[in-house]
Structure 1
Amino acid sequence: MRRLPLLKICGLRPGDDLSFLRHPAVTHVGVVMVPASRRYVAPEDAGPLVRAAKRIRPDVTAVAVVSGGSCDEIGEAARRAGVDVVQLHGGEPQGIEDRLRKAGFQVWRAVAFDPGDDETSFLDTVRSHAAVADAVLFDAKPPSDAKPGVTGGHGRTFDWDRLTQMAVAFNFDWWVAGGITPENVRDLLRRVRPVGIDVSSGVEAGGRKDVGRIHQLIQAMEAWGHESLSIS
């Protein structure tokens, strides 16, 4: 079977069933530390959640999703949460990537996939982010009524065909987020080959992470792997 992309289950909250971590396909988990988000987890609550995840899977990579704040605030929140990666969504001070990396964190930069008519300018912006981050995560543009600072978790997809066309110019690690579900993940992977995929609302039921939905997602990814192997 062709190697599957890395898989991040994002938006965990205290009380979620973490048994899905026993499946090796899940490589990353994310906690949202953006106060305006409905999935917000405070640093003091994120710490026990991350530790619980790592008790089940010591090798899982924990990611803190942040938006805005000073270098000191973000660094302290990430330290208290015990995460490995800080995922920046905008509004942070210049140079924060170096500060966080020196503090021992990997740094990802989330970018709304919205090239518009000026693809060259968009690519230049993405490359400038990639030059100072360990990975770029492409997400859908937030809806017009989204709360300020809440740039992800809206369950919206974006133009994957356009991404396919542009991805040939990428020379950095990149992820895809935004509206990925068990029902459409095979279609996504047929079009693009990201390093990893980031899933949140697509594996929820009643506003909570659903183990059954996560297993369905993994099964669909594995089906794509077998399918792509047979084609090649």
Structure 2
Amino acid sequence: MAPRFQGARRVLSTEQGRRGRLSPREAGGSTVREQCHPADFLDRPAVEVARALIGAVLTHDGVGGIVVETEAYEADDPASHSFSGPTARNAAMFGPPGHAYVYRSYGIHWCFNVVCRPGSAVLVRALEPTAGIPAMVRRRSMEDVRSLCSGPGKLCQALAISDAQNGMPIGRGALRLFLPPTSPTVVAGRRIGISKAVDRPWRFGLAGSRFLSKPLRPGE
């Protein structure tokens, strides 16, 4: 039976995500999406970057989609892996802005983060699939588009992201990030799945999105 692709705005070829820009038709906006330059966009507090990434497009080898949910983790954040300083596991968090920090959660799922300033990063929690959906369906062994990338582990499986991408520069290889053409409406609330600094409203989501890992209401 042919995969059902209801719920996604469009399907991109894997080749389109490798280029330096995405057209409106390819990325669902009224303006061409320019590729992110890490030094210009990511060298600032993770809280700012986490909000600014909503509406961007993330691809790995041309497979990906629109970022609809993120969480910020700062260097002085008790919930951050970097809080106690550099280790072998979190070394990528202390590198230059614009690199990937990929770790395994509970020994099972990979989680993808964008490194900002030293010790700070943004966890990409969910995408709206737009690029290479057939590949995602094969990797996830499911056809529900809304569930393909609705969580950190899910999106890593769908995009084939693992520890092989840990420390990889974004924008100069297989990992690409394209800026949103306009500023979307963003809602903020408390982060989930953590036991420290639980009241900080550092989880961000695209208002009205059906592709979030969990519903996000302002202030929750």
* TM-score computed with the length of structure 2 as normaliser: 0.25
From the two aligned structures, give the one with the greater helix fraction.
Answer: 1
TM-score with structure 1 setting the length: 0.24
Task: Please identify the structure whose Cα radius of gyration is greater.
Answer: 1
Higher relative contact order (CA 8 A, sep 6+): 2
Instruction: Answer 1 or 2: which has greater strand percent.
Output: 2
